[in-house]
Structure 1
Amino acid sequence: MLELRGRARPYQWGSTSAIPGLLGKPPAEGPVAEVWLGAHPDGPASVGVGTSIVDDSQLYPSRVPPGPPSQSLAEWIAQDPGAALGESVVERYGTSLPYLLKVIAPAEPLSLQVHPSIEQAEEGFAAEEAAGVPRSAPDRNYKDRNHKPELAYALTTFEALAGFRARRRIGEVLKGLDAPLAQRLRAVLGMGGVRGAFEYLLREQTRPSPEEVAEVAEACAARPAADSPSARADRVAAMLSERYPGDPGVVASLLMNPVTLNPGEALFLSAGTVHAYLSGVAVEIMAASDNVLRAGLTHKHVDVPELLAVLNSSASPPTRIAPERVNAAVSTFYAPVDDFELSEIRLRDANTRVRVRGIGPRTVLCLRGAAQLEAGGRVRSVIAGQAVFVPASDGQLTMRGIGHLVQAAVP
């Protein structure tokens, strides 16, 4: 078992207090949007250093100087991939950790986005490599060759938009809005379906003006909740308009399913599913990728043609995954992919040792309380805000304590 220190991401939409609060620390000097606890080359975690998932130098850079360079998890795995990952994982995925575990804390909405399938990622990556687009370029779409299905496990009330509503339901939401764009969009919806309406909002030839978007947002804000077919959709559109005035993504949100996760609930997002996280704190697990195609609600690069080529425009309800109970302390969320699974562990008796399912590469994060972990003849204690990497060679993992933990693993 190895201590794991993550890589903080200071994206503008992040919270200054949520992740530091998990660590029992005061608010950071700037936003801490995510902490990456994986081996992805864009932000690999460090091993064998520190006692928390985020170094103080990442939270308070003006006061705490960075420490000496440390070995990354990717470098450690590369020394002996078979021992770190297990031979079956190496056979399936090569010498890279297949998943990426994150803590995510949006204080403001993330961009409206989709992620590609493996085939789309491989094709897009090869095309950008052939075109000589630097991997660090802001207009690069494909940072790697992998797909990016993901699962969000809520730690607080977590708000999101995920997938498209049914066409009839969208028509109901738009019908009572006193705005020309809303009524024009209803007509497009009737002729071209959900994809046609979404494309109408994004394509350069038909993209509405900022003033037209503002009229829709104002109509949403003015509509009485008692008269609205979706008061929540109205609130979301009005909120998005305040943060991204004039962005067509504000109107596109009316086409989508609003989602509220309570703590302990999980949402799965497959390739091509349009989505946006709005607020809350969650643990997020995904295939090890950073491929994001954006549609709006962002100041970053937007590639509408590529996004539409990847988009799944089928209407479908959000995919909530219920955990399967493994034993009295462990429940596992089995996502419909082979790259990852996520288990929640709730320890209630410090005198009872619990077996935790999984024999490959595992990442354990303590969210609350404390636990003693034992694997491979080693014992390590963790408290809230600490994480460890358990290599395949350590074998069976057991733990005891009183606390709430999650484990990322490969099925």
Structure 2
Amino acid sequence: LSLEDYITADPEGTLGEDTLVGHGPALPYLLKLIAPMRPLSLQVHPSKAQAQAGFDTEEEAGIPLDSPDRNYRDRNAKPELVYAITSFEALVGFRAPRRIAEVMRGLRTPLSDRLRRMVLREGVRAAFTYLISPETCPSGDRVASLVEACAERDPEKSPSRRADAAVVSLAAHYPGDASVLTPLLMNPVSLRPGEALYIPDGTVHAYRSGVGVEIMASSDNVLRAGLTEKHIDVPELLRVVRADAAPPMRIAPERVSASTSVYYAPVEDFELSVVQLSDANAWDRQRSEGPRTVVCMEGAVQVYAGGGALQLNKGQAVFIGANEGEASLRGFGKVVIAAVP
């Protein structure tokens, strides 16, 4: 029995009245464990209004939901949060134009000089559009020349050694793709274990490496610009992307008890709690009462809810419905809990 079928059989009991009224008869979040073996695609997620309009347009065009050329597979937005289990590397949003110009200074290739002038005179959107659009993107030779310049730049003198390293790394995985140069325009992000990053709609991003827990609104709407073999729709991505300079949104945890920290994202679809347990004899009462997913990340814990207890070992998970009331935990280990605010 799939989780979807389990919820469908009793949506009011499993989701609870508040979730059912606010989000409809389906779980409003998706929970993933991600560990990219190579950098994931350069992508953007639409807002709810954009998703609704895009879905309706593709429905009217008769594009099947399972078509590889489909952009909008539902009417939902897809804000997301990633919680780092190991060191986690990402690219998120755009730098300020003057910082981009500083990063490119000294590379001394025709392409870097052109991008630098374009950013200062026309803005970041113009340079980003030039790089990713099939009609204007630079040739493989020009891309390779700029990648080589990044590789050869002295790290001690580089204005952004992380940008140089990211360009070289992406080029090793996607040679010839002009999108490998976007780290020169974007903010590099390095998360340490326990840190979290929030990605709002319209924010261009790419996850490069690491292991993390990813929680997001229940949607499969992804617009891709490059670094992938999947469907790419540059015009639609450019219509949705926010090109203003903005720092990455790190979410600091709020300590709600001696054992539990909660990462509150500015959305109504999900929240993520991290619980560290160190007593096998005392039950740790959790405050969430709606639909929850508990994943054991370390050690072994017991979960008590709905009048029964279940042991979770590392790598195992359990879904707790709203009709099972509060949950309590005990054991030695760490769990993450996905819930609806």
TM-score clears 0.5: yes
SS state of the match for residue 309, structure 2?
strand
1:285 Cα offset (Å): 0.1
Partner of 1:363: 293
SS state of the match for residue 108, structure 2?
coil
Partner of 1:111: 41
1:357 Cα offset (Å): 2.2
| Separation (CA, whole Å) in 2 of partners of 1:205 and 1:75 | 46
Partner of 1:187: 117
Cα displacement string for residues 150-200 of structure 1 (whole angstroms, at most 9, x for unaligned residues) = 000111111111111111110001111121100001111112111111111
Q: Where in structure 2 are the equivalents of 1:25-36 lying within 5 Å? A: none
Which structure's relative contact order is higher, taking Cα pairs within 8 Å and 6+ residues apart?
2
| Separation (CA, whole Å) in 1 of partners of 2:202 and 2:178 | 19
Gaps of 5+ in 1: 1-70
1:115 Cα offset (Å): 0.4
| Separation (CA, whole Å) in 2 of partners of 1:382 and 1:98 | 24
AA matched with 1:274? V
Match for residue 402 of structure 1 among 317, 325, 332: 332
1:213 Cα offset (Å): 0.8
| Separation (CA, whole Å) in 2 of partners of 1:179 and 1:239 | 19
Partner of 1:300: 230
Match for residue 195 of structure 2 among 256, 265, 282: 265
Q: Does 1:243 align with 2:173?
A: yes
AA matched with 1:165? R
AA matched with 1:281? V
Partner of 1:39: none
| Separation (CA, whole Å) in 2 of partners of 1:160 and 1:379 | 38
SS state of the match for residue 393, structure 1?
helix
1:204 Cα offset (Å): 3.1
Q: Does 1:354 align with 2:284?
A: yes
Partner of 1:344: 274
Match for residue 168 of structure 1 among 72, 75, 98: 98
| Separation (CA, whole Å) in 2 of partners of 1:269 and 1:238 | 24
Q: Does 1:291 align with 2:291?
A: no
1:276 Cα offset (Å): 0.4
1:394 Cα offset (Å): 0.6
Q: Does 1:309 align with 2:212?
A: no
| Separation (CA, whole Å) in 2 of partners of 1:389 and 1:309 | 38
Residue pair 2:84, 2:195 contacting (<8 A) in 1 also:
yes
| Separation (CA, whole Å) in 2 of partners of 1:332 and 1:104 | 20
Residue pair 2:88, 2:190 contacting (<8 A) in 1 also:
yes
Partner of 2:186: 256
Cα displacement string for residues 16-68 of structure 1 (whole angstroms, at most 9, x for unaligned residues) = xxxxxxxxxxxxxxxxxxxxxxxxxxxxxxxxxxxxxxxxxxxxxxxxxxxxx
Partner of 2:150: 220
| Separation (CA, whole Å) in 2 of partners of 1:74 and 1:232 | 42
Q: Does 1:93 align with 2:31?
A: no
1:349 Cα offset (Å): 1.3
Match for residue 76 of structure 2 among 146, 169, 190: 146
Partner of 1:158: 88
Gaps of 5+ in 2: none
AA matched with 2:199? L
AA matched with 2:178? P
| Separation (CA, whole Å) in 1 of partners of 2:136 and 2:297 | 47
TM-score (norm 1): 0.82
SS state of the match for residue 313, structure 1?
coil
Residue pair 2:98, 2:120 contacting (<8 A) in 1 also:
no
1:136 Cα offset (Å): 1.2
Match for residue 56 of structure 2 among 111, 118, 126: 126
Partner of 2:163: 233
Partner of 1:3: none
| Separation (CA, whole Å) in 2 of partners of 1:237 and 1:404 | 35
1:84 Cα offset (Å): 0.4
Partner of 1:102: 32
Partner of 1:16: none
Match for residue 316 of structure 2 among 374, 380, 386: 386
SS state of the match for residue 260, structure 1?
strand
Q: Does 1:324 align with 2:254?
A: yes
Cα displacement string for residues 106-145 of structure 1 (whole angstroms, at most 9, x for unaligned residues) = 0100010000110111111111111111111111111111
AA matched with 1:191? R
Q: Where in structure 2 are the equivalents of 1:62-81 lying within 5 Å? A: 71-81=1-11
Cα displacement string for residues 212-247 of structure 1 (whole angstroms, at most 9, x for unaligned residues) = 111110000000001100011101101111111111
| Separation (CA, whole Å) in 1 of partners of 2:330 and 2:132 | 52
| Separation (CA, whole Å) in 2 of partners of 1:253 and 1:232 | 9
Aligned-CA RMSD value: 0.8
Percent identity over paired residues: 58
1:379 Cα offset (Å): 0.8
| Aligned residue pairs, count | 341
